[in-house]
Amino acid sequence: MKLDALLGKFPGVKLERPPELWEAETVEESLAALLKVMISATSADTLNASNVVVEPDGDESTVPEGEFVALTASGSDGSEPDGTWPGKSKLLAGLERELIYAGAQYAYVRSIRGRGSITVFLDRC
């Protein structure tokens, strides 16, 4: 799906994106629900969309290889410790239904100097 129209539905959040954003393999309603909870969980003021290529690195990393559209909600709530999904993040475990329905392949939470973020990887179409 093309993300431009969906990303515009969050007017209180600053949008950062590349000039050409790939299409993501997802359903609009499911992704909208996921973005809402991501924005709420981080008190997000910024939503970043980017094109990501994950190359094989020889490690047994939990990050899958492939081409993805990554969506990051970042804001003032950095209370959640770093973690991944699938993995041990309590916050992301609580968002598991939304992650699955949106077709997320991987997600992670970061907290740096009081700011928090959630990043989700969706398959590129």
CATH number at residue 13: 3.30.565.10
pLDDT band of residue 57 (cuts 50, 70, 90) is confident
Q: Are 36 and 52 in contact (CB under 8 A)?
A: no
Cβ-Cβ contacts under 8 Å for 99 (sequence gap 6 or more): 34, 85, 92, 107, 120
pLDDT reported for residue 4: 66
Nearest to 75 by CA among 48, 35, 44: 44
Q: Which two tokens stand for residue 22?
A: 């790939």
pLDDT digits (tens, 9 = 90+) for 35-52: 999 999 999 999 999 999
Q: Are 90 and 70 in contact (CB under 8 A)?
A: no
pLDDT reported for residue 60: 62
- 120-to-47, 54, 58 alpha-carbon distances in Å: 11, 13, 22
Counted domains in the chain: 1
Nearest to 89 by CA among 118, 52, 60: 118
The pLDDT of residue 30 is above 80: yes
* Residue numbers of the domain that contains 92: 4-123
pLDDT reported for residue 113: 86
pLDDT digits (tens, 9 = 90+) for 61-115: 678 899 999 999 999 988 888 999 988 889 999 999 999 999 999 999 999 888 9
